[in-house]
């Protein structure tokens, strides 16, 4: 299991990821805008359009953090549970929801690898920019499969590997040089942003990740590249 540039024991990765998100929680939303030039908002809009949430259905937004996906899902009238391992991220999310007058969300501290929700609890499971931070990804996909109802759908938004020639090099230079500097400037935390970039680099590419989703038992799996695959939307169905 890797954390940043080094290989560490699984429990140590989980602990260090916790420290990263506790450290960035207060500045997380500002940093997302700064690092993506606001693009993450469009990616999240597109992602939620793919999910097609409907009033009354039950949706689990895993690794939901400060609520960006959950707020979009809840606008449809769906019953949304936001689950995240990190209480500091959830606290920021609860605060944001209150300020925006969004109520009815359920907030739950939970590890994606070991959920306490009963089998077949949800119509849809979403995870945005979360799965690459999970220590045992295959286990988390298995849990997604377990808590979904038959006919339930799985959607994942995550950084991937762009296939556009030239763009990969520009992005690589941007991410390795500029992002840690932005992290230092705006959040006084260079190391956390170095971890975030490194975790993107190490995440499986689209076909490899799609195969993991299929291995967890999902069918009709699909990978949709955004910006040549810089970001990808993966999906699958439980039957």
Q: Quick one: which of 63, 92, 141, 148 contacts ligand SAM (CB under 6 A)?
A: 63
Q: Is 81 in the site for ligand SAM (CB under 6 A)?
A: no
Q: Which of residues 86-145 bind ligand SAM (CB under 6 A)?
A: 86, 89, 111-113, 128-130, 133-134
Smallest gap, in angstroms, from Cβ of residue 64 to ligand SAM? 5
Backbone φ and ψ for 156, nearest 5 degrees, come out as -130, 130
Three-state SS at 55: coil
DSSP 118: P
Token pair listed for 163:
């296939």
Q: Is 203 in the site for ligand SAM (CB under 6 A)?
A: no
Q: In the stretch 10-49, what mask flags binding to ligand SAM with x, by CB under 6 A? A: -------x---x----------------------------
Applying CB under 6 A, the span of 64-72, 99-107, 165-173, 230-238 interacting with ligand SAM comes to 64-72
Contact 214, 221 (CB under 8 A): yes
Tell me the CA distances in angstroms from 226 to 2, 164, 172, 214, one per residue in order: 26, 11, 17, 21
In whole angstroms, what is the distance from residue 237 CA to residue 150 CA? 8
For binding to ligand SAM (CB under 6 A), which residues are involved? 17, 21, 63-65, 68-69, 84-86, 89, 111-113, 128-130, 133-134
């Amino acid at each position: 299991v890797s954390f940043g540039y080094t290989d560490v024991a699984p429990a140590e990765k989980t602990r260090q990821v916790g420290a990263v998100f506790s450290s960035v929680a207060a500045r997380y939303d500002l940093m997302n805008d700064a690092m993506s030039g606001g693009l993450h908002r469009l990616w999240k809009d597109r992602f939620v359009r793919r999910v097609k949430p409907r009033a009354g259905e039950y949706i689990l937004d895993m690794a939901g953090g400060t609520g960006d996906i959950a707020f979009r899902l809840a606008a449809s009238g769906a019953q949304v549970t936001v689950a995240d391992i990190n209480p500091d991220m959830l606290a920021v999310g609860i605060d944001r929801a209150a300020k925006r007058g969004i109520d009815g969300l359920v907030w739950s501290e939970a590890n994606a690898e070991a959920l306490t929700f009963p089998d077949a609890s949800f119509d849809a499971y979403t995870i945005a920019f979360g799965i690459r931070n999970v220590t045992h990804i295959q286990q988390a996909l298995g849990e997604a499969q377990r808590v979904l109802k038959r006919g339930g759908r799985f959607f994942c938004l995550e950084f991937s590997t762009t296939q556009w020639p030239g763009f990969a090099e520009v992005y690589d230079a941007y991410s390795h040089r500029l992002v840690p500097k932005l992290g230092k400037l705006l959040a006084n935390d260079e190391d956390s942003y170095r971890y975030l970039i490194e975790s993107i680099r190490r995440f499986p590419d689209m076909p490899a990740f799609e195969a993991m989703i299929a291995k967890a038992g999902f069918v009709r799996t699909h990978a949709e590249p955004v910006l040549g695959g810089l970001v990808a939307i993966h999906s699958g169905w439980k039957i």
